[in-house]
Amino acid sequence: MWSFMESARPSVFTSTNAEGVDRVAKGKGSYAFLMESTSIEYVTERNCELTQVGGMLDTKGYGIAAPPNSPYRTAINGVILKLQEEGKLHILKTKWWKEKRGGGSCRVETSKSSSAANELGLANVGGVFVVLMGGMGVACVIAVCEFVWKSRKVAVEERLSAILHE
């Protein structure tokens, strides 16, 4: 399979991400490029002609390389964990991916359609409340019937007991 892909003219492989992105943009739907998800997010925030198809194939974290037994390892791990727990890494990603250097230029078009799909109002969930209220009504009727039946049963038993003891 790989030999077929390598022998194809033009080659299906590219030497850089930028070359792959350029080829997708110029290919008008005839070329797809497999790329690391964070880079795809960055590119699609700036080029409205491109879109990410499907979800991530795998999730991996990033790390900072340090020599073995480095005295800075514990300190760096602590700072990264603190930034992650405080949500600052997410804020930084949003700032640099979606706000700075041309990020967010495609957001206007996608936010209208995605917010309409994600927004839930009373009209969307009203049926749940109708079913809930109906169930509560049926439960109340059953509870009253049980109470009346049990009260009647106790009254009959008390009368019988009173007659037998006389």
Q: Are residues 101 and 129 in the same domain?
A: no
Regarding whether 135 and 105 lie in a shared domain, the answer is no
Q: Is the model's pLDDT at 12 over the cut of 80?
A: no
- Same-domain status, 99 and 114: yes
* Mean of per-residue pLDDT scores for the chain: 81
pLDDT for residue 138 is more than 50: yes
Give the pLDDT confidence score for residue 108 in this predicted structure: 55
Q: Which residue has the higher pLDDT, 37 or 4?
A: 37
Q: What are phi and psi of 62, to 5 degrees?
A: -105, 155
Do 74 and 132 have their domain in common?
no
Q: Is residue 149 domain-resident?
A: yes
* Residues 153 and 137 both lie in one domain: yes
Between CA 27 and CA 24, with CA 15 as vertex, the angle to 5 degrees is: 15
Range of the domain at 40: 35-118
Q: How many domains does the chain have?
A: 2
- Do residues 42 and 36 lie in contact, with contact meaning Cβ atoms separated by under 8 Å? no
